[in-house]
């Protein structure tokens, strides 16, 4: 036990001040509308016919002022950021089925700070197939290569800065078979492979999730689903630590609802119970505990009428950690977003509060670590005709960690021009 802790303490002291330099921006883009792949909706948007495909190009130009680009508690450094992003999307409709391909290159330039790599790339290949015998197949492949930008690397929001390159491959397949008009069975699997440019500081990993469930049609457009999932998380070793204690196996049982609960309330939410067990030596089980408890993820969306709507997002789950000898952290929080649209004008107000909780005390200070994160923002947009829109946004985020070196205040102002379909 003593030898184990000595090795770990040495590792933490080496990496303690470097942990902030990891790949994550998460929700810190200032409310700029993203160019996400999106299926065509009848009468909702136009596209360019290219043979059997619907081609939807778009270009986004962003200017930002950020007052704390390194997310430090003291002596913040401000900078201006220019970003250009294009989306090239092709959709092939096939009766009730479809195939969608999207490629999004992105270029980011700081006025003063020099990024190691200014380009990011996002590829999405998505397919949905419905058959007359009740079989539904959904398949997804996503590739991303970048440094600052994605909460997909860390959906719990632990990491918040870094310009080290990484790439991620994600594939998912789900099958649902409706053996009666109201009841069905489902199976699912997804696989993630993440690789960093500098695995000597950060660890690569793979994650496999498999699951099965029961589907029940509660209403015409509301489905209840009860699911079991098994997750295998395999981190790779790096120069400083083997990361064996971060290797884990999880089991969860959830119940969820997706669809319209009533004419004005839409839901896509799951709640349940999850256990995560870590590969730690017996003498360290009390130092690095397993996780077991309530989990929740999803949203409720109210359509209030007259162009306004309200969305509540909820989250509670464990996530793999990059800090010290914490195998995981537990994120608990919620966000509320109000949006108003009238003719060509759109306004958005949003706020989020989340707490990231760590079971293992900080080995440098000996303090228990807890990160309350408060975010609020405002966005205003105007559409000039069918293909051009302008967006302005402000966002503030405060991380009030019990470990001072992880705290920060952050403000960003964004102006965004979008041209395209």
Beta bridge partners of 56: 89
The proportion of the chain whose per-residue pLDDT surpasses 90, expressed as a percent, equals 65
Band (184; pLDDT cuts 50, 70, 90)? very high
How confident is the model at residue 42, as a pLDDT? Answer: 45
pLDDT at 21 over 50: no
Q: What are phi and psi of 390, to 5 degrees?
A: -120, 140
Report the alpha-carbon distance of residue 392 to residue 34 in Å, rounded: 13
Structural domain of residue 76, as residue ranges? 2-420
Tell which residue, 207, 191, 157, 123, has the closest CA to residue 22: 157
Position 200 confidence tier, pLDDT thresholds 50, 70, 90: low
**Looking at residue 33, what is its pLDDT?**
58
pLDDT(20) > 50: no
Share of the chain above pLDDT 70, in %: 88
10 has pLDDT over 60: no
Is the pLDDT assigned to residue 30 strictly greater than 80? no
Q: pLDDT per residue over 224-251, tens digit each?
A: 999 999 999 999 887 667 788 889 999 9
pTM of the model: 0.86
Q: Would you say the C-alpha torsion 138, 143, 150, 211 has a positive or negative sign?
A: positive
Q: What is the pLDDT of residue 376?
A: 96
pLDDT at 37: 78
How does pLDDT run across 121-157, given as a tens digit for each residue? 999 999 999 998 999 999 999 999 988 765 667 778 8
pLDDT of residue 364: 85
| Predicted local confidence at residue 366, as pLDDT | 87
Query: In this predicted structure, what is the pLDDT of residue 5?
Result: 39
Residue 136, pLDDT score: 95
Length of the chain: 421
Q: What is the mean pLDDT of the chain?
A: 86
Which structure tokens are listed for 238?
Answer: 């790096």
d(CA 118, CA 363): 35
In order of 81, 173, 229, 296, the CA distances from 209 in angstroms are: 37, 11, 7, 17
Across 179-204, the runs of DSSP E, i.e. the strands, are 183-196
Give the count of beta carbons closer than 10 Å to the beta carbon of residue 114: 8
Tell me how far apart the terminal alpha carbons of the chain are, to the nearest angstrom.
Answer: 60
Q: Which of 2-11, 213-222, 343-352 has the lowest mean pLDDT?
A: 2-11
Residue 127's H or E segment, with its range, is strand 119-130
Question: Does residue 351 have a pLDDT over 70?
Answer: yes
pLDDT of residue 16: 34
Residue 193 is predicted with a pLDDT of 96
Comparing 185 with 220, the larger pLDDT belongs to 185
Q: Report how far residue 344's alpha carbon sits from residue 101's, in angstroms, rounded to the nearest whole number.
A: 29
Round to whole Å and give the CA distance between 69 and 80.
Answer: 9
For residue 90, pLDDT over 70 is answered with yes
Cα 136 to chain centroid distance, Å, stands at: 25
Domain count, the chain: 1
**DSSP H/E element including 224:** strand 222-235
Q: What is the CATH number of the domain that holds 365?
A: 2.40.160
The first and second tokens of residue 357, run together, are 């909780």
User: What span, in angstroms and rounded, lies between the C-alpha atoms of 152 and 169?
Assistant: 11
């Amino acid at each position: 036990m003593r030898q184990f802790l000595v090795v770990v303490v040495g590792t933490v002291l080496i990496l303690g001040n470097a942990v902030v330099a990891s790949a994550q921006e998460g929700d810190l883009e200032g409310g700029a509308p993203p160019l996400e792949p999106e299926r065509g909706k009848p009468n909702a948007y136009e596209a360019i016919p290219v043979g059997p495909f619907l081609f939807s190009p778009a270009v986004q130009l962003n200017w930002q002022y950020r007052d704390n680009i390194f997310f430090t508690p003291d002596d913040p450094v401000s900078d201006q950021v220019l970003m250009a992003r294009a989306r090239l999307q092709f959709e092939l409709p096939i009766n009730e089925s479809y195939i969608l391909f999207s490629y999004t290159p992105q270029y980011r330039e700081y006025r003063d700070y020099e990024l190691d790599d200014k380009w990011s790339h996002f590829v999405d290949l998505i397919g949905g197939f419905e058959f007359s015998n009740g079989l539904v197949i959904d398949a997804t492949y996503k590739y991303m290569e970048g440094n600052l930008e994605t909460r997909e690397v860390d959906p719990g929001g632990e990491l918040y800065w870094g310009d080290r390159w990484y790439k991620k491959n994600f594939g998912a397949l789900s099958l649902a078979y409706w053996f009666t008009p109201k009841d069905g069975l489902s199976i699912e699997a997804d696989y993630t492979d993440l690789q960093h440019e500098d695995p000597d500081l950060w660890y690569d990993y793979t994650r496999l999730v498999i699951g099965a469930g029961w589907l029940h049609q509660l209403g015409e457009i509301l489905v209840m689903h009860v699911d079991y999932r098994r997750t295998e998380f395999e981190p790779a070793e790096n120069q400083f630590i083997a990361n064996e204690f971060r290797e884990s196996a999880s089991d969860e049982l959830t119940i969820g609802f997706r669809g319209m609960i009533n004419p004005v309330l839409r839901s896509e939410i799951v709640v349940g119970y999850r256990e995560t067990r870590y590969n730690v030596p017996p003498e360290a089980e009390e130092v690095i505990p397993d996780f077991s408890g309530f989990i929740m993820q999803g949203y409720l969306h109210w359509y209030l009428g007259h162009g306004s709507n309200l969305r509540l997002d909820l989250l509670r789950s464990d996530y793999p950690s990059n800090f010290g000898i914490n195998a995981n952290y537990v994120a608990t929080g919620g966000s509320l977003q109000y949006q108003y649209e009238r003719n060509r004008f759109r306004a958005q107000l949003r706020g989020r509060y989340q707490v990231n909780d760590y079971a293992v005390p900080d080995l440098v200070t000996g303090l228990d670590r807890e990160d309350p994160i408060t975010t609020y923002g405002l966005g205003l947009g105007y559409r000039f005709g069918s293909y051009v829109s302008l967006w302005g946004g402000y966002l503030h985020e405060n991380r009030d960690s019990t470990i001072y070196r992880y705290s920060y205040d952050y403000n960003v102002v964004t102006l965004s021009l979008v041209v395209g379909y």
